[in-house]
Amino acid sequence: MRTRRWAGLPPRLRWFALLLALVSGCALNPRGDEPPETEAVGFPPFYRRAVYENKTRTNVLFPIYRELETPERSGILVFPIFWKREFLIDEDTTEMDWVLLPFLFGGTESDGEDHFLFFPFWGESRDMLGKDRMRFRFFPLYLDAVHGEYESGHALWPLISWGEGDGRSDFRILPFYARDDHEGKSWSRSVLWPFLSWGQESLDTEHPVDQFFFFPFYGRSSSDVHSSTTVLFPFFSLSDNDAGFTEVNAPWPFYRNMRASEDRYAYRLWPLFGRLRDDDEEEDWFLWPLFWRTKYVLPEGAVLTHSFVPFYRNTAYLSDPKSEEADRGRQVQVWPLFRRIRDDRGAVYFRTFALLPFNGMTDVKANLGWLWTLFEYYEDEETEKAELLSGLLGYESGADGGHIRLLWFLDIPY
Protein backbone atom coordinates (compact mmCIF):
# COMPACT_ATOMS: atom_id res chain seq x y z
CA MET A 1 0.00 0.00 0.00
CA ARG A 2 1.60 3.22 -1.19
CA THR A 3 1.04 5.58 1.73
CA ARG A 4 4.64 6.56 2.56
CA ARG A 5 4.33 9.77 0.59
CA TRP A 6 1.91 11.01 3.29
CA ALA A 7 4.03 9.90 6.28
CA GLY A 8 5.63 12.65 8.26
CA LEU A 9 3.43 15.46 6.92
CA PRO A 10 2.37 18.00 9.56
CA PRO A 11 -1.35 17.75 10.33
CA ARG A 12 -2.03 21.17 8.80
CA LEU A 13 -0.60 19.99 5.47
CA ARG A 14 -2.41 16.69 5.31
CA TRP A 15 -5.69 18.21 4.16
CA PHE A 16 -3.83 20.19 1.51
CA ALA A 17 -1.97 17.05 0.40
CA LEU A 18 -5.25 15.17 0.28
CA LEU A 19 -6.76 17.89 -1.93
CA LEU A 20 -3.80 17.65 -4.31
CA ALA A 21 -4.19 13.88 -4.37
CA LEU A 22 -7.86 14.17 -5.24
CA VAL A 23 -7.11 16.49 -8.12
CA SER A 24 -3.92 14.81 -9.35
CA GLY A 25 -5.62 11.43 -9.45
CA CYS A 26 -8.18 12.86 -11.84
CA ALA A 27 -6.14 13.53 -14.98
CA LEU A 28 -2.75 11.84 -14.93
CA ASN A 29 -3.80 9.28 -17.52
CA PRO A 30 -4.88 9.75 -21.15
CA ARG A 31 -8.21 11.49 -21.41
CA GLY A 32 -10.55 11.04 -24.34
CA ASP A 33 -8.79 12.41 -27.42
CA GLU A 34 -5.24 11.74 -26.18
CA PRO A 35 -3.41 8.66 -27.54
CA PRO A 36 -3.26 5.62 -25.21
CA GLU A 37 0.54 5.90 -24.90
CA THR A 38 0.24 9.33 -23.27
CA GLU A 39 2.32 9.79 -20.13
CA ALA A 40 1.10 12.58 -17.86
CA VAL A 41 2.04 14.05 -14.48
CA GLY A 42 0.62 16.89 -12.42
CA PHE A 43 -2.46 18.05 -10.57
CA PRO A 44 -4.74 19.74 -13.09
CA PRO A 45 -6.05 22.31 -13.55
CA PHE A 46 -3.15 23.74 -11.54
CA TYR A 47 -0.46 21.87 -13.48
CA ARG A 48 -0.38 19.08 -16.06
CA ARG A 49 2.36 17.85 -18.38
CA ALA A 50 1.52 15.21 -21.03
CA VAL A 51 3.92 13.54 -23.48
CA TYR A 52 2.79 11.62 -26.58
CA GLU A 53 3.79 11.21 -30.24
CA ASN A 54 6.95 13.36 -29.76
CA LYS A 55 4.75 16.13 -28.38
CA THR A 56 4.85 17.68 -24.93
CA ARG A 57 1.86 19.68 -23.70
CA THR A 58 2.15 21.68 -20.47
CA ASN A 59 -0.71 23.52 -18.79
CA VAL A 60 -0.50 25.73 -15.71
CA LEU A 61 -3.68 27.14 -14.16
CA PHE A 62 -5.54 25.96 -17.23
CA PRO A 63 -6.48 27.73 -19.46
CA ILE A 64 -4.17 30.58 -18.43
CA TYR A 65 -0.81 29.09 -19.46
CA ARG A 66 -0.36 26.52 -22.26
CA GLU A 67 2.84 25.27 -23.85
CA LEU A 68 3.47 22.89 -26.75
CA GLU A 69 6.79 21.39 -27.84
CA THR A 70 7.53 19.13 -30.82
CA PRO A 71 10.78 18.45 -32.71
CA GLU A 72 9.69 20.96 -35.39
CA ARG A 73 7.94 23.70 -33.43
CA SER A 74 7.10 25.11 -30.03
CA GLY A 75 4.52 27.52 -28.73
CA ILE A 76 3.44 29.37 -25.60
CA LEU A 77 0.01 30.87 -24.90
CA VAL A 78 -0.76 33.07 -21.90
CA PHE A 79 -4.51 33.54 -22.23
CA PRO A 80 -5.77 36.01 -23.32
CA ILE A 81 -2.90 38.45 -23.85
CA PHE A 82 0.26 36.71 -25.11
CA TRP A 83 1.34 33.96 -27.48
CA LYS A 84 4.64 32.94 -29.01
CA ARG A 85 5.49 30.30 -31.61
CA GLU A 86 8.79 29.10 -33.04
CA PHE A 87 9.46 26.89 -36.06
CA LEU A 88 12.63 24.93 -36.80
CA ILE A 89 13.46 25.40 -40.49
CA ASP A 90 16.70 23.40 -40.38
CA GLU A 91 19.44 22.66 -37.85
CA ASP A 92 20.69 26.26 -37.84
CA THR A 93 17.57 28.24 -38.80
CA THR A 94 14.39 29.10 -36.92
CA GLU A 95 11.44 31.45 -37.35
CA MET A 96 9.71 33.07 -34.38
CA ASP A 97 6.58 35.19 -33.94
CA TRP A 98 5.07 36.67 -30.79
CA VAL A 99 2.04 38.81 -29.90
CA LEU A 100 1.29 40.84 -26.78
CA LEU A 101 -2.30 41.93 -27.24
CA PRO A 102 -3.66 44.36 -28.16
CA PHE A 103 -0.74 46.49 -29.38
CA LEU A 104 2.62 44.68 -29.70
CA PHE A 105 3.69 42.19 -32.41
CA GLY A 106 7.16 40.95 -33.28
CA GLY A 107 9.40 38.11 -34.37
CA THR A 108 12.46 36.91 -36.27
CA GLU A 109 12.49 35.61 -39.84
CA SER A 110 14.50 32.67 -41.14
CA ASP A 111 17.00 35.11 -42.67
CA GLY A 112 17.67 36.54 -39.20
CA GLU A 113 15.79 39.80 -39.82
CA ASP A 114 13.65 41.05 -36.92
CA HIS A 115 10.28 42.75 -37.22
CA PHE A 116 8.32 44.73 -34.64
CA LEU A 117 4.93 46.47 -34.67
CA PHE A 118 3.39 48.83 -32.14
CA PHE A 119 -0.09 48.75 -33.63
CA PRO A 120 -1.59 50.98 -34.92
CA PHE A 121 1.12 53.61 -34.62
CA TRP A 122 4.38 52.33 -36.09
CA GLY A 123 6.17 49.21 -37.18
CA GLU A 124 6.24 46.26 -39.53
CA SER A 125 4.59 42.85 -39.69
CA ARG A 126 5.47 39.72 -41.67
CA ASP A 127 3.20 37.08 -43.22
CA MET A 128 0.00 38.79 -42.07
CA LEU A 129 -3.29 38.98 -44.00
CA GLY A 130 -1.74 37.29 -47.03
CA LYS A 131 1.12 39.82 -47.33
CA ASP A 132 4.84 39.12 -47.09
CA ARG A 133 5.38 42.45 -45.32
CA MET A 134 3.18 45.30 -44.08
CA ARG A 135 4.46 48.62 -42.69
CA PHE A 136 2.10 50.66 -40.51
CA ARG A 137 2.34 54.43 -40.00
CA PHE A 138 -0.45 55.67 -37.73
CA PHE A 139 -2.92 53.21 -39.22
CA PRO A 140 -5.40 53.75 -40.86
CA LEU A 141 -3.74 56.93 -42.09
CA TYR A 142 -1.05 55.05 -44.02
CA LEU A 143 0.35 51.58 -44.64
CA ASP A 144 2.24 49.88 -47.44
CA ALA A 145 2.51 46.19 -48.26
CA VAL A 146 4.61 43.76 -50.29
CA HIS A 147 3.50 40.43 -51.72
CA GLY A 148 6.10 38.89 -53.99
CA GLU A 149 6.97 41.54 -56.57
CA TYR A 150 3.74 43.46 -56.03
CA GLU A 151 3.95 46.58 -53.83
CA SER A 152 0.98 48.65 -52.69
CA GLY A 153 0.31 51.77 -50.63
CA HIS A 154 -2.81 52.67 -48.66
CA ALA A 155 -4.06 55.98 -47.25
CA LEU A 156 -7.13 56.22 -45.05
CA TRP A 157 -7.41 52.46 -45.44
CA PRO A 158 -9.45 51.03 -47.13
CA LEU A 159 -10.57 54.09 -49.06
CA ILE A 160 -7.45 55.02 -51.06
CA SER A 161 -4.83 52.61 -52.45
CA TRP A 162 -2.41 52.17 -55.32
CA GLY A 163 -0.05 49.41 -56.34
CA GLU A 164 2.15 48.00 -59.08
CA GLY A 165 4.41 45.06 -59.82
CA ASP A 166 4.47 41.54 -61.23
CA GLY A 167 2.34 42.62 -64.18
CA ARG A 168 -0.33 44.14 -61.95
CA SER A 169 -1.45 47.76 -61.59
CA ASP A 170 -4.35 49.07 -59.53
CA PHE A 171 -5.77 52.27 -58.06
CA ARG A 172 -8.88 53.14 -56.07
CA ILE A 173 -10.61 56.04 -54.35
CA LEU A 174 -13.65 54.45 -52.79
CA PRO A 175 -16.51 54.66 -53.33
CA PHE A 176 -16.02 56.80 -56.43
CA TYR A 177 -13.67 54.82 -58.69
CA ALA A 178 -11.48 51.71 -58.74
CA ARG A 179 -9.43 49.91 -61.38
CA ASP A 180 -7.40 46.69 -61.25
CA ASP A 181 -5.30 45.42 -64.19
CA HIS A 182 -3.40 42.12 -64.43
CA GLU A 183 -1.49 42.19 -67.69
CA GLY A 184 -2.77 39.44 -69.99
CA LYS A 185 -4.93 37.92 -67.20
CA SER A 186 -7.76 40.20 -66.10
CA TRP A 187 -9.04 43.76 -65.69
CA SER A 188 -11.88 45.38 -63.77
CA ARG A 189 -13.46 48.79 -63.20
CA SER A 190 -15.84 50.03 -60.53
CA VAL A 191 -17.83 53.25 -60.20
CA LEU A 192 -19.70 54.10 -57.01
CA TRP A 193 -18.50 50.80 -55.51
CA PRO A 194 -20.09 48.38 -54.83
CA PHE A 195 -23.01 49.37 -57.05
CA LEU A 196 -21.51 49.28 -60.55
CA SER A 197 -18.58 47.13 -61.72
CA TRP A 198 -17.47 45.36 -64.91
CA GLY A 199 -14.41 43.63 -66.34
CA GLN A 200 -12.89 40.46 -67.79
CA GLU A 201 -11.13 37.43 -66.31
CA SER A 202 -9.24 34.39 -67.63
CA LEU A 203 -7.76 36.35 -70.54
CA ASP A 204 -4.81 33.94 -70.55
CA THR A 205 -7.09 30.96 -71.28
CA GLU A 206 -9.13 29.79 -74.26
CA HIS A 207 -12.34 30.94 -72.57
CA PRO A 208 -12.19 34.60 -71.41
CA VAL A 209 -14.97 35.62 -69.01
CA ASP A 210 -16.97 38.86 -69.25
CA GLN A 211 -18.43 40.25 -66.01
CA PHE A 212 -21.00 42.92 -65.19
CA PHE A 213 -22.68 43.69 -61.85
CA PHE A 214 -25.24 46.35 -60.94
CA PHE A 215 -25.55 45.61 -57.24
CA PRO A 216 -27.87 44.20 -56.01
CA PHE A 217 -30.29 44.16 -58.93
CA TYR A 218 -28.51 42.34 -61.73
CA GLY A 219 -25.24 40.55 -62.40
CA ARG A 220 -23.86 38.38 -65.17
CA SER A 221 -20.68 36.39 -65.79
CA SER A 222 -20.30 34.60 -69.13
CA SER A 223 -17.88 33.02 -71.57
CA ASP A 224 -18.29 30.84 -74.63
CA VAL A 225 -18.64 27.76 -72.37
CA HIS A 226 -20.57 29.00 -69.33
CA SER A 227 -22.95 31.66 -68.02
CA SER A 228 -24.11 32.80 -64.60
CA THR A 229 -26.87 35.31 -63.85
CA THR A 230 -28.05 36.73 -60.53
CA VAL A 231 -31.08 38.91 -59.80
CA LEU A 232 -31.59 40.64 -56.46
CA PHE A 233 -28.31 39.20 -55.19
CA PRO A 234 -27.98 36.79 -53.42
CA PHE A 235 -31.54 35.50 -53.61
CA PHE A 236 -32.00 34.43 -57.26
CA SER A 237 -29.29 32.95 -59.49
CA LEU A 238 -28.89 30.60 -62.44
CA SER A 239 -25.62 29.03 -63.65
CA ASP A 240 -24.86 26.53 -66.42
CA ASN A 241 -22.06 25.38 -68.72
CA ASP A 242 -21.69 23.24 -71.81
CA ALA A 243 -20.37 20.30 -69.73
CA GLY A 244 -23.86 19.77 -68.34
CA PHE A 245 -23.57 21.70 -65.08
CA THR A 246 -26.64 23.63 -63.89
CA GLU A 247 -27.45 25.36 -60.60
CA VAL A 248 -30.56 27.26 -59.55
CA ASN A 249 -31.14 29.22 -56.32
CA ALA A 250 -34.69 30.57 -56.09
CA PRO A 251 -34.62 32.02 -53.54
CA TRP A 252 -31.34 31.42 -51.73
CA PRO A 253 -30.91 29.87 -49.17
CA PHE A 254 -34.32 28.16 -49.20
CA TYR A 255 -34.20 26.37 -52.55
CA ARG A 256 -31.17 25.04 -54.40
CA ASN A 257 -30.89 22.55 -57.26
CA MET A 258 -27.45 21.74 -58.66
CA ARG A 259 -26.50 18.96 -61.06
CA ALA A 260 -23.16 18.27 -62.69
CA SER A 261 -23.59 14.56 -63.50
CA GLU A 262 -25.43 11.49 -62.23
CA ASP A 263 -22.91 11.21 -59.38
CA ARG A 264 -22.50 14.94 -58.63
CA TYR A 265 -25.62 16.80 -57.58
CA ALA A 266 -27.16 18.79 -54.72
CA TYR A 267 -30.58 20.00 -53.78
CA ARG A 268 -32.24 21.48 -50.73
CA LEU A 269 -35.57 22.79 -49.54
CA TRP A 270 -34.43 24.55 -46.40
CA PRO A 271 -35.06 23.88 -43.53
CA LEU A 272 -36.93 20.65 -44.41
CA PHE A 273 -34.29 18.53 -46.17
CA GLY A 274 -31.17 18.60 -48.32
CA ARG A 275 -28.76 16.29 -50.13
CA LEU A 276 -25.30 16.64 -51.70
CA ARG A 277 -23.21 14.13 -53.65
CA ASP A 278 -19.70 14.96 -54.90
CA ASP A 279 -16.52 13.08 -55.73
CA ASP A 280 -15.28 12.94 -52.12
CA GLU A 281 -18.25 14.17 -50.09
CA GLU A 282 -21.78 13.07 -49.22
CA GLU A 283 -24.25 15.01 -47.11
CA ASP A 284 -27.88 14.47 -46.13
CA TRP A 285 -29.86 16.49 -43.62
CA PHE A 286 -33.42 16.68 -42.41
CA LEU A 287 -35.12 19.42 -40.37
CA TRP A 288 -31.95 21.54 -40.36
CA PRO A 289 -29.92 21.61 -38.18
CA LEU A 290 -31.17 18.53 -36.31
CA PHE A 291 -30.56 15.36 -38.39
CA TRP A 292 -27.35 14.85 -40.43
CA ARG A 293 -25.50 12.17 -42.33
CA THR A 294 -22.07 13.15 -43.70
CA LYS A 295 -19.33 11.18 -45.41
CA TYR A 296 -15.88 12.49 -46.39
CA VAL A 297 -13.55 10.35 -48.51
CA LEU A 298 -9.90 10.54 -47.44
CA PRO A 299 -6.73 8.99 -48.90
CA GLU A 300 -6.78 6.30 -46.19
CA GLY A 301 -10.55 5.62 -46.27
CA ALA A 302 -13.53 7.71 -45.22
CA VAL A 303 -15.24 9.31 -42.21
CA LEU A 304 -18.97 8.60 -41.87
CA THR A 305 -21.07 10.47 -39.27
CA HIS A 306 -24.70 10.25 -38.22
CA SER A 307 -25.91 13.05 -35.93
CA PHE A 308 -28.98 14.24 -34.08
CA VAL A 309 -27.70 17.65 -32.97
CA PRO A 310 -26.65 18.00 -30.21
CA PHE A 311 -27.79 14.80 -28.50
CA TYR A 312 -26.35 11.98 -30.63
CA ARG A 313 -23.25 11.59 -32.76
CA ASN A 314 -21.88 8.36 -34.28
CA THR A 315 -18.64 8.65 -36.28
CA ALA A 316 -17.11 5.65 -38.06
CA TYR A 317 -13.62 5.69 -39.61
CA LEU A 318 -13.87 3.43 -42.65
CA SER A 319 -10.96 1.59 -44.26
CA ASP A 320 -13.11 1.11 -47.39
CA PRO A 321 -15.18 4.16 -48.46
CA LYS A 322 -17.68 1.87 -50.22
CA SER A 323 -18.45 -0.29 -47.17
CA GLU A 324 -20.04 1.23 -44.09
CA GLU A 325 -19.31 -1.98 -42.17
CA ALA A 326 -15.54 -1.81 -42.71
CA ASP A 327 -14.87 0.57 -39.82
CA ARG A 328 -11.42 0.63 -38.20
CA GLY A 329 -12.54 2.88 -35.37
CA ARG A 330 -15.68 4.53 -34.04
CA GLN A 331 -16.81 7.28 -31.69
CA VAL A 332 -20.30 7.32 -30.21
CA GLN A 333 -21.65 10.10 -28.01
CA VAL A 334 -25.05 10.44 -26.39
CA TRP A 335 -24.90 13.95 -24.97
CA PRO A 336 -24.58 14.61 -22.10
CA LEU A 337 -24.71 11.01 -20.85
CA PHE A 338 -21.64 9.26 -22.27
CA ARG A 339 -18.93 8.99 -24.92
CA ARG A 340 -17.45 5.72 -26.22
CA ILE A 341 -14.33 5.56 -28.42
CA ARG A 342 -12.85 2.53 -30.19
CA ASP A 343 -9.60 3.35 -31.99
CA ASP A 344 -7.86 1.61 -34.90
CA ARG A 345 -5.95 -0.69 -32.48
CA GLY A 346 -9.19 -1.98 -30.99
CA ALA A 347 -8.71 -0.09 -27.73
CA VAL A 348 -11.94 1.04 -26.07
CA TYR A 349 -12.51 4.14 -23.94
CA PHE A 350 -15.79 4.97 -22.20
CA ARG A 351 -16.76 7.95 -20.06
CA THR A 352 -19.87 9.27 -18.40
CA PHE A 353 -20.73 12.13 -18.26
CA ALA A 354 -19.61 13.83 -21.52
CA LEU A 355 -20.65 17.48 -21.38
CA LEU A 356 -18.82 18.70 -24.50
CA PRO A 357 -21.05 17.84 -27.49
CA PHE A 358 -18.21 17.91 -30.04
CA ASN A 359 -14.79 16.41 -30.77
CA GLY A 360 -11.44 18.06 -30.15
CA MET A 361 -10.59 20.43 -27.29
CA THR A 362 -8.14 17.83 -25.92
CA ASP A 363 -6.65 20.19 -23.32
CA VAL A 364 -10.09 21.11 -21.96
CA LYS A 365 -11.04 17.46 -21.47
CA ALA A 366 -7.66 16.53 -19.99
CA ASN A 367 -7.54 19.39 -17.48
CA LEU A 368 -11.19 19.94 -16.59
CA GLY A 369 -12.96 16.73 -17.63
CA TRP A 370 -12.63 15.25 -14.13
CA LEU A 371 -15.10 17.86 -12.89
CA TRP A 372 -17.99 16.15 -14.72
CA THR A 373 -16.70 12.56 -15.01
CA LEU A 374 -18.67 9.98 -13.04
CA PHE A 375 -17.19 6.77 -14.46
CA GLU A 376 -14.39 5.88 -16.89
CA TYR A 377 -13.32 2.62 -18.50
CA TYR A 378 -10.35 1.83 -20.75
CA GLU A 379 -9.27 -1.47 -22.35
CA ASP A 380 -6.64 -2.52 -24.89
CA GLU A 381 -4.64 -5.69 -25.55
CA GLU A 382 -2.48 -5.21 -22.43
CA THR A 383 -4.44 -3.04 -20.00
CA GLU A 384 -7.86 -2.83 -18.41
CA LYS A 385 -8.81 0.04 -16.14
CA ALA A 386 -11.96 1.42 -14.52
CA GLU A 387 -12.49 4.36 -12.16
CA LEU A 388 -15.46 5.80 -10.29
CA LEU A 389 -15.31 9.54 -9.60
CA SER A 390 -11.80 9.68 -11.09
CA GLY A 391 -10.29 7.39 -8.48
CA LEU A 392 -12.62 7.22 -5.50
CA LEU A 393 -12.90 3.54 -6.38
CA GLY A 394 -11.27 1.70 -9.26
CA TYR A 395 -8.91 -0.94 -10.52
CA GLU A 396 -6.19 -1.43 -13.12
CA SER A 397 -4.71 -4.66 -14.48
CA GLY A 398 -1.99 -5.34 -17.00
CA ALA A 399 0.95 -7.56 -17.90
CA ASP A 400 2.79 -6.54 -14.70
CA GLY A 401 -0.15 -7.20 -12.38
CA GLY A 402 -2.83 -4.92 -11.08
CA HIS A 403 -4.08 -2.84 -8.19
CA ILE A 404 -7.29 -1.58 -6.65
CA ARG A 405 -7.56 2.16 -6.01
CA LEU A 406 -9.40 3.52 -2.97
CA LEU A 407 -9.99 7.15 -1.99
CA TRP A 408 -8.07 8.49 -5.00
CA PHE A 409 -4.56 7.80 -3.64
CA LEU A 410 -4.51 4.35 -1.97
CA ASP A 411 -3.29 1.64 -4.40
CA ILE A 412 -3.64 -1.96 -3.18
CA PRO A 413 -1.74 -4.49 -5.35
CA TYR A 414 -3.34 -7.80 -6.18
Digit-coded pLDDT (tens) for 256-290: 999 999 889 999 999 999 999 998 999 999 999 99
How far is the C-alpha of 94 from the C-alpha of 112, rounded, in Å?
8
**Do 122 and 116 touch, CB atoms closer than 8 A?**
no
Check whether 31 has a pLDDT greater than 80.
no
**pLDDT tens per residue across span 162-209:** 999 999 999 999 999 999 999 999 999 999 999 999 999 999 999 999
Asked if the structure places residue 367 within a domain, the reply is yes
Does residue 211 sit within a domain?
no
Task: Say what the pLDDT of residue 1 is.
Answer: 41
Q: What is the mean pLDDT of residues 330-343?
A: 93
Three-state DSSP state, 289: coil
pLDDT mean over 35-45? 80
Contact, 162 vs 156, CB < 8 A? no
Q: Is residue 350 part of a domain?
A: yes
- Choose among 271, 321, 327, 320: nearest CA to 296: 321
Asked if residue 292 is part of any domain, the answer here is no
More confident site: 21 or 115: 115
Q: Is residue 413 part of a domain?
A: yes
CA angle, 130 as apex, 124 and 132 as ends, to 5°?
45
Secondary structure letter of residue 262 according to DSSP: S
Cα 187 to Cα 176, 273, 335, 368: the distances in Å are 17, 41, 53, 55
Asked whether residue 407 carries a pLDDT value surpassing 90, the answer given is no
Instruction: Give the total number of structural domains in the chain.
Output: 1
Query: What range does the domain containing 371 cover?
Result: 1-29+335-414
- The per-residue pLDDT for 4 is 45
pLDDT at res. 340: 93
Residue 93 lies inside a defined structural domain of this protein: no
pLDDT tens, 203-228?
999 999 999 999 999 999 999 999 99
What string of DSSP letters covers 163-218? EEETTEEEEEETTTEEEEEETTTEEEEEETTTTEEEEEE-TTSSS-EEEEEETTTE
9 within domain boundaries: yes
Residue 99 belongs to some domain of the structure: no
Separation CA 258–CA 240 (nearest Å): 9
| Separation CA 143–CA 324 (nearest Å) | 54
